[in-house]
Amino acid sequence: MLHKILIVGSQGYLGSRLSEYLEEFGHQCTGIDTGFFKNGTLTATYPINTINKDARLITKDDLEGFDTLILLAGISNDPFGHMTSEQIYDPTRDYALTIAEMCKEMGIKFIYPSSCSVYGAAANGFLSEDGPTKPQTPYSINKLQVEDGLSVMSGKTFSPIALRFGTVYGMSSRIRFDVVINMLCGLALTTKKVTLNSNGQAWRPHLHIDDACESFRSCLDWRPDTDNLVVLNVGCNEDNFKIIDIAKIIHSNVEGSELTYLCSNKDSEENELIKDRKIQDGVDTRSYKVSFDKIQETLPGFECKWTVESGIKNLLDELKEIDLNNDTFNKREFYRLQQIEFLHQTHQIDDNLIWVN
C-alpha cells in the first residue's frame, strides 16, 4: 500500500534522507520545517513539497489528507546561553503530544523517533525495551517524557510507535558532523587525525541512516496487536561498539591517519567543534549496550542491511567522492549546537527558539 506521509522536521539530518528513501518506494511525502538547518547542505537536496512552519503552530488543517505522520522535529543539543533545559525541551514535549493527540482524533498513524540514549549509564549486559532507563541528559529525559505521554493517550483506536534509535550515522544531504561516526570520519579525511573527546571506553549502539529509514518504512503497513504504545529498539546486536573501537575501525580505513585524544590536541578551532560539554575529565558516563531482539521478532520484514564496518567504509567513500575538505567539514551549519547558538546569539531566534522576523 502506498502512503501519504507528513514528515515534521523534514529539513534535518534524518528527515532529508527519509523523504528521499520513502519516495523511492513510491510513497508520497510532504514536509513541515521551521528552517533552522535548511541551508546546511553538503550535497543536493531531494525536492519535496515543504511547508515553512514551526511545529508548535501545526493545526488539524495541516494534517488533512495524510495517513501517517512522522515527528522528527525536536532539539538535540545542550541548553545554551542563559536558557534552562526546561526552556529548551519542554516545548518539544508539549508540541509532540499535541500533534499526537490530533493524529489520534483524525485516525493518523503516529511514529516517533525516540533514542537508545534513554538507557543512559547502564550496568553490564544488553538492555531491552522493558529494562530500566537511566537518562543522563535533558535530551534523553525529554524522549522519555514524550514516550510516557504517548503511552497515556494510547488506546484501542491509537497505538503510536516509538522507535528508539541507536546513534545514527551515514550520508545525508544535510549531514550532521556532530555525531560520533560522521565526526570521526570527517576528521580522519580532513585532518588525518581520529580525535576522541573522551577515553573511548563508553559503549554505544550504532545505526546506519538507511536502516533508520527502513524502520520507518516497515512501520507504515504494520498494525501492532496492542492497544498500547509500541516501543522498539532499532538496530542490531552486533553493532554495539565501544567508541575507541569505532575510532580504530576508521583509523584503519584512512591511510596515514593517527589516533589522538582531545586533551592532547591544542587546536582551539577543532576543539570547539568536537568537544562535548557533557564529557568531564575525559570520561563519558553515557554508556550502554542495547538488545535489538524485539524488533527482529516483532516488526515484519525489518532487518539492518548495514554493519558498522560496511557503513563506515561506505561513508568514507561518499565523503571522498565529494572531496570533503576542512572548510566544508568545519561549517557551523553541520553542528546542531553551534548553529542554534549562532541563531540565538545573533537574535535571529528568541528565547523561545522562534524566528524573530
Q: pLDDT per residue over 141-152, tens digit each?
A: 999 999 999 999
Q: What are phi and psi of 353, to 5 degrees?
A: 55, 45
**Which three three-digit cell numbers place residue 78?**
545542550
**Within-domain flag for 124:** yes
- Predicted confidence at residue 268, as pLDDT, reads 44
State the pTM of this model. 0.92
**266 in a domain, yes or no?**
no
What pLDDT sits at residue 284? Answer: 64
Asked whether residue 35 is assigned to any structural domain, the reply reads yes
Tell me which residue of 65, 63, 53 sits closest to 11, measured CA to CA. Answer: 53
Q: Is residue 195 part of a domain?
A: no
Tell me, yes or no, whether 325 lies in a domain.
Answer: no
pLDDT tens profile 267-284 = 544 555 555 544 444 456
For residues 131 and 251, give the distance between their C-alpha atoms in angstroms, rounded to a whole number. Answer: 34
Query: Read out DSSP for 258-300?
Result: EEEEGGG---HHHHHHH--TT-BTTB---EEEE--HHHHHHST
In sign, the C-alpha dihedral spanning 275, 278, 282, 285 is negative
Amino acid of residue 276: D
Report the domain count for the chain: 1
- CA distance linking residue 70 with residue 216, whole number of Å: 8
Task: Report yes or no on 82 lying in a domain.
Answer: yes
Distance of CA 157 to the CA centre of its chain: 28
Which DSSP string do the residues of 17-67 spell out, in sequence order?
HHHHHHHHTT-EEEEEE--TTTT--SSPPPP-EEEE--GGG--HHHHTT-S
For residue 84, what is the domain's CATH number? 3.40.50.720
Going by the DSSP 8-state scheme, the letter that residue 337 receives in this structure is H
pLDDT for the residue 281:
45
The C-alpha cell at 267 is: 587546536
Which of these, 116, 117, 112, 88, lies nearest to 101 by C-alpha position?
112
Q: At CA 1, angle to CA 98 and CA 292, rounded to 5?
A: 65
Cell numbers describing residue 143: 524522549
Question: What confidence score (pLDDT) does residue 77 get?
Answer: 66
Residue-level pLDDT at 279: 44
What does 152-196 look like in DSSP terms, one character per residue?
HH-BTTB--EEEEE-EEES--TT--SSSHHHHHHHHHHHHSEEEE
* Closest among 103, 120, 114 to 148, alpha carbons compared: 114
Q: DSSP letters along 74-128, please?
A: ---S---TT--HHHHHHHHHHHHHHHHHHHHHHT-EEEEEEEGGGG-EEEEEEE-
Is residue 47, in this structure, part of any structural domain at all? yes
Does 115 reside within a domain? yes
End-to-end CA distance of the chain: 41
The residue segments making up the domain with residue 42 are: 4-176+206-239+290-306
> Residue 349 carries which DSSP code?
B
Instruction: Write phi, then psi, for 207 (nearest 5 degrees).
Output: -140, 120
Per-residue pLDDT of the chain (357 residues; tens, 9 = 90+): 999 999 999 999 999 999 999 999 999 999 999 999 999 999 999 999 999 999 999 999 999 999 999 999 988 766 676 788 888 899 999 999 999 999 999 999 999 999 999 998 766 789 999 988 999 889 999 999 999 999 999 998 999 999 999 999 999 999 999 999 999 999 999 999 999 977 888 899 999 999 999 999 999 999 998 889 999 999 999 999 999 999 999 999 999 999 998 765 555 445 555 555 444 444 566 789 999 999 999 999 999 999 999 999 999 999 999 999 999 999 999 999 999 999 999 999 999 999 998
